[in-house]
Amino acid sequence: MSEGFAPEQIDAGRRLFGGPSRFLLGVARLEQLPEVRGIEIAFAGRSNAGKSSLINALTGVNGLARASNTPGRTRELNFFDVNGRLTLVDMPGYGFAKAPKSEVKAWQAVLRAYLRGRPGLTRAFVLVDARHGILKADEEMFALLDEAAVTYQVVLTKTDKIKPSECTRVMEKVAAAISKHPAAFPGIHATSSETGAGIAELRAEIAGLVETL
């Protein structure tokens, strides 16, 4: 489970995300990738796992990240600048690919190439809906990140939708599952974009990555 953070770590997270955050660009092809500017943190998750809501909660900017009206339809890497010190990358939701197979295959090739060869990509956070736990599509993303040797960490979302005891059970199951994956970071963040639970701790985790690298 996510370890406790000292007050100074929480404050570092508050200061990092307290500055301006803005959308940079959306990328559909590798040649469109922007120049690497410092550290990049990527967010992945099933469609409807709450990625847009989490990014908005982290940055404190409502509407900064916008969910597609059709789950699984967005096929872009969306880049956001945080305080001139960090780049957040919103990866398309997976699990409901409403597109021709040829298009999906082409997009997956772009995604693999990005994960394998992007300098500055420091960590990926894989969002898992606490109501459902790890599903097959999540396991496929874990395998892709293992293959690309990108360190990743699980963030449980929508924890306000289940009882605390159930959240504890889900976290235990997730911890057991990711222990089998070589690139998985063991700490798990339990969050709710609705209530703000766990947001300060996730900010602190990200701030620590920015300050130590």
Read out DSSP for the chain? -PPP--HHHHHHHHHHHHS-EEEEEEESSGGGPPPP-SEEEEEEEBTTSSHHHHHHHHHT-TTSS---SSTT----EEEEEETTTEEEEEPPPBS---S-HHHHHHHHHHHHHHHHH-TTEEEEEEEEETTT-S-HHHHHHHHHHHHHT--EEEEEE-GGGS-HHHHHHHHHHHHHHHTT-TTB-S--EE--TTT-TTHHHHHHHHHHHHHH-
pLDDT band at 185 (very low <50, low <70, confident <90, very high): very high
pLDDT band at 73 (very low <50, low <70, confident <90, very high): very low
Domains and CATH numbers, the chain: 7-212 (3.40.50.300)
Q: Is the whole-model pTM more than 0.85?
A: yes
Q: Which residue has the higher pLDDT, 172 or 28?
A: 172
Q: Which residue has the higher pLDDT, 106 or 15?
A: 15
pLDDT tens, 129-138? 999 999 999 9
